Amino acid sequence: MAFTDLGDSFYAEEIAAAAQYGLVNGVSADRFAPEANITRQEIATLVERALSAYAPAALSVRAAAGDSHYTDHEQIAPWAADGIAALAAEGLLTGYPDGSFAPRSEMTRAEAAVLIARFYDARFF
């Protein structure tokens, strides 16, 4: 998959490799949108794909397809539902105190740091 919006950027090779391995998709067939912010459902999908590809035993507990139990589950895109459910079942992703996940909101730096810390605590890496 060749993304036309990567040019000769410092990240072009890594994004192309991640796409080749099936870890990321573009926003269209030929665009990646590297400068766009990432949503909570996009990062969850990326993390779940990476864990499934490189540490398949890490996600030993699988929730029923798309069953994440978040109050706003209907806002979760179909392509992200299984990944969010799997990471939530493992305790790697949590929602907000009101029971929502806010899948289309951007992930904050603090939320990303917590997610990474949970991976290390769970010894996924």
> Per the structure block, which two tokens stand in for 93?
């992703």
Give, in order, the Cα–Cα distances in Å from 88 to each of 41, 94, 111.
12, 6, 14
How confident is the model over 53-82, as a mean pLDDT?
77
DSSP 8-state symbol, 29: S
> Per the structure block, which two tokens stand in for 29?
């067939």
Region of poorest pLDDT, from 3-12, 53-62, 79-88: 53-62
C-alpha–C-alpha distance, residues 23 and 114, integer Å: 21
pTM: 0.83
Helix (H, G, I), strand (E, B) or coil at 39: strand
At 71, the amino acid letter reads T
> Residue 66 pLDDT > 70, yes or no?
no
C-alpha–C-alpha distance, residues 110 and 117, integer Å: 11
Helix (H, G, I), strand (E, B) or coil at 36: coil
Q: Where are the domains of the chain?
A: 1-36, 37-121
Strand runs labelled E in the chain: none
Give 111's Cβ-side CA count (13 Å radius).
17
